[in-house]
């Protein structure tokens, strides 16, 4: 089993509305809960009550299409509103994410980090030492995980920032993007993911559900081909259609039926009848 | 700041439907997320997609009424479907819960454990060595936390078990309850909480939202008075009315308004207008 560590701030944690994009379930994609693996269900994160869709679910689904017989685990450790300083090696977010990653690594091979952060540093000239701090974060994670060449996939900040709602404060997002580019350029096995044409929630700061799904496809393109993805891919929605259209397996049907029963959406007789139909 | 560790299986994690009981928000009650404290919002756990209301929120709200100027932190580590064997000291659930507790203890004083487990062991004669295993779990947590006298509050299994739905398998819940009583009797600073008159979800195994709220009040009674709570208290709903009727503070109003804005329930103009009203 392979795994990825998800770190950064809210747009990695996910704030896309859960009802605004088709759900993704796949028995080969799991998420770390209490140090163990469970079948993935969104939200992956619970850093906040408002956690929703991030880039990781469609990333994982794209990965799963290319690795039909393999399992992938996601380690959700992104934290809404966190600044780059809060990811420094002595800070609790970094120490906790490393602790979670090490639990995951007892039963999986960590093959990459998905990172998205910078909104909180897009003001007051904080871009001036951002590159140095980001480089230190990446270096520390690789060193602490004893994986000096671990691929790190780095999303750019979206260009809807600086304009409306809570996004208004992030006026220096272009400067931060420049610094992110510099770090990726200078860091072996790190790859940049374009945020071109991503749309926001009405709050003006969080990437919406549909765009997060597209963003995840780009993250996977960067990981798969070990390239910088400089623009929107053009075929993201086509790839997403294949993901959404995938046939539900028996195990997934049982999971969804059991979930609906647990939530009181059907009675026991109906549950048993449907269960028999699925497993016959 | 004080804190409690929440461990056990699904009825500690919480499966009461979120919409079936009034929400509890209190700026003095926080929950551990990514190793840091955030204002409590239910579900506390995310061990499964179906996580909902457990006993800890009303427990904490009752504690907060008696400690007006203090903060309380909850450390959610219960795991749905876990057996007593899975809480043994070498198992990942125990190691992970201890890891989380230690993050919490960097910034809080751990003053107790809330425990609820046993449904998974209520069959096939597993009660025969349950007491021994439960005693070992309690001993290990206290030893590993270097808190040999840490209070442990232990809920009984509810008597709706063994009858319907998924609860049908838990036919030996009375035997397990007997073993739990034995362990509490033989363990200093541990206290029993009656599950009398608790009602289940339609699945026949999970305590419903309203009953979980009542259960939490009993857990607090046991903690506060350092007694075994042998029966329903009689005044649980009265206590819950006081909790639900508590006046919302300015910080809580800001939290709830920001949450609704983040979820797209109001536009930026309305958000700003209401924000100004709250903070004027």
- Domain boundary assignment for chain B: 2-246, 247-280
The residue behind tokens 């009993």 is B218
Cα–Cα distance between B225 and B215 in angstroms, integer? Answer: 16
Contact: A79, B36; criterion CB under 8 Å: yes
CB distance B100 to B75 below 8 Å: yes
| Alpha carbons A66 and A209: distance in angstroms, whole number | 23
Q: Which tokens sit at B57?
A: 């929120």
Please answer whether residues B34 and B141 qualify as being in contact, where contact means their C-beta atoms are separated by less than 8 angstroms: no
Q: Which of B34, B46, B202 sits opposite A96 (nearest CB)?
A: B34
Q: Which residues of B touch A263 (CB under 8 A)?
A: 17, 50
When pLDDT is cut at 50, 70 and 90, the band that residue B1 belongs to is: very high
Percent above pLDDT 70 for chain A: 100
Alpha carbon distance A220, A24 (integer Å) = 16
Cβ distance of B96 and A50 shorter than 8 Å: no
Best CA proximity match to B97, nearest among B180, B32, B161, B167? B32
Dihedrals phi, psi of A6, to nearest 5 degrees? -105, 115
Residue B234 backbone class (left: φ over 0; alpha: ψ -120 to 50; beta: rest): left
Residue B8, classed as helix, strand or coil, is strand
ipTM score for this prediction? 0.97
pLDDT of residue A171: 96
- Average the pLDDT over A38-55 and give the result: 98
Report the residue from A33, A50, A99 with minimal CB separation from B263. A50
Whether residue B34 and residue A79 make contact (CB cut-off 8 A), yes or no, is yes
User: What local confidence, expressed as pLDDT, does residue A57 receive?
Assistant: 98
The mean pLDDT of B64-70, rounded to a whole number, is: 96
Q: Residue B259: CA atoms inside 13 Å, Cβ hemisphere, count? A: 14
User: What integer is the mean pLDDT of B134-142?
Assistant: 98
Using alpha carbons only, give the angle B97, B6, B246 rounded to the nearest 5 degrees.
140
Distance from CA of A148 to the nearest CA of B (A): 24
Domain B2-246 part of CATH 3.40.50.1110: yes
Q: Is the dihedral of CA B119, B121, B125, B128 positive or negative?
A: negative
What is the pLDDT confidence band of residue A101, given thresholds at 50, 70 and 90?
very high
Average pLDDT over residues A121-134: 98
pLDDT category at B139 given cuts 50, 70, 90 is: very high
| Residue indicated by tokens 């906790």 | A96
B186–chain A nearest CA distance, Å: 29
- Three-state SS sequence of chain A: CEEEEEEECHHHHCCECHHHCCCCCCCCEEEEECCEEEECCCCCCCCCCCCCECCHHHHHHHHHHHCCCCCEEEEECCCCCCCHHHHCCCCHHHHHHHHHHHHHHCCCEEEEEEEECCHHHCCCCHHHHHHHHHHHHHHHHHHHCCCCCCCEEEECCCCCCCCCHHHHHCCCHHHHHHHHHHHHHHCCCEEEECCCCCCECCCCCCECHHHHHHHHHHHHHHHHHCCCECCCCCCHHHHHHHHHHCCCCHHHHHHHHHHHHHCCCCCHHHHHHHHHHHHC
Per-residue confidence band for A251, with pLDDT thresholds at 50, 70 and 90: very high
Nearby residues of B99 by Cβ (< 8 Å), 6 or more positions away: A35, A99, A103
Each residue of B205-259: pLDDT tens digit? 999 999 999 999 999 999 999 999 999 999 999 999 999 999 999 999 999 999 9
Closest partner CB to B50 (pick from A50, A99, A263) = A263
Measured CA to CA, the distance from residue B279 to residue B266 in angstroms comes to: 18
Q: How confident is the model at residue B158 (pLDDT cuts 50, 70, 90)?
A: very high
Rounded to an integer, the average pLDDT of B145-153 is 98
Q: Encoding tokens for residue A240? A: 């997403």
pLDDT at B195: 98
Query: What does the longest C-alpha to C-alpha distance in chain A come to?
Result: 64
**What's the whole-number mean pLDDT along residues A134-148?**
98
Q: B5 or B165: whose pLDDT is higher?
A: B5
Chain B residues closer than 8 Å to A106 by CB: 92
10 Å Cβ neighbour count for A105? 17
Shortest Cα distance, chain B CAs vs residue A156, angstroms: 21
The 10s digit of each residue's pLDDT in A182-209 is: 999 999 999 999 999 999 999 999 999 9
Give the single-character DSSP code of B81: T
pLDDT value at residue A78: 98
pLDDT tens column, B72-99: 999 999 999 999 999 999 999 999 999 9
- pLDDT cut 90: percent of chain B above it: 99
Q: Could you tell me if A8 and A86 are in contact, meaning their C-beta atoms sit under 8 angstroms apart?
A: no
Q: Residues of A near B (CB-CB distance < 8 A)?
A: 15, 17, 33-36, 38, 41, 43, 46-50, 77, 79, 92-93, 95-97, 99, 103, 106, 164-165, 201-204, 206, 259, 261-264, 267-268
Q: Which helix (H) or strand (E) holds B268?
A: helix B268-279
Rg (CA), chain B: 19
Residue with tokens 């926080």, as numbered in its chain: B30
Alpha helices in B7-120 (DSSP H): 10-13, 56-66, 92-105
Q: B155 and B115 in contact (C-beta within 8 Å)? A: yes
Identify the three-state secondary structure at position B164.
coil
| pTM, two decimal places | 0.98
β-partners of residue A16 are A53
Residue A250's pLDDT band (boundaries 50, 70, 90)? very high
Place of tokens 């998800």: A6
Mean pLDDT of chain B: 97
Q: What pLDDT score does B171 carry?
A: 96
């Amino acid at each position: 089993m392979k795994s990825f560590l998800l770190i950064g701030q809210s747009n990695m944690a996910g704030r896309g509305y859960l009802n605004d994009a088709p759900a993704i379930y796949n028995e080969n994609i799991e998420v770390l809960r209490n140090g163990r693996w469970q079948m993935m269900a969104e939200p992956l994160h619970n850093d906040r009550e408002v956690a929703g869709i991030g880039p990781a679910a469609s990333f994982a689904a794209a990965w799963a299409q290319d690795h039909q017989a393999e399992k992938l685990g996601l380690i959700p450790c992104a934290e809404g509103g966190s600044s780059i300083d809060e990811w420094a090696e002595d800070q609790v977010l970094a120490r906790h994410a490393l602790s979670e990653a090490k639990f995951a690594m007892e039963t999986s091979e960590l093959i990459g980090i998905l990172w998205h952060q910078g909104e909180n540093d897009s003001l007051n000239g904080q871009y001036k030492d951002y590159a140095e701090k980001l480089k230190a974060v990446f270096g520390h994670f690789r060193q602490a995980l004893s994986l000096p060449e671990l691929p790190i996939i780095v999303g750019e900040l979206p260009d809807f920032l600086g304009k409306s709602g809570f996004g208004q404060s992030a006026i220096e997002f272009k400067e931060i993007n420049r610094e992110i580019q510099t770090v990726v350029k200078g860091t072996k096995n790190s790859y940049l993911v374009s945020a071109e044409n991503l749309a926001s929630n009405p709050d003006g700061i969080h990437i919406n559900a549909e765009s997060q799904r597209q963003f995840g496809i780009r993250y996977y393109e960067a990981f798969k081909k070990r390239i910088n993805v400089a623009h929107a891919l053009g075929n993201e929605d086509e790839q997403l259609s294949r993901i959404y259209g995938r046939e539900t397996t028996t195990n997934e049907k049982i999971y969804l039926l059991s979930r609906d029963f647990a939530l009181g959406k059907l009675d026991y007789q109906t549950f048993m009848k449907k269960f028999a139909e699925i497993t016959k």
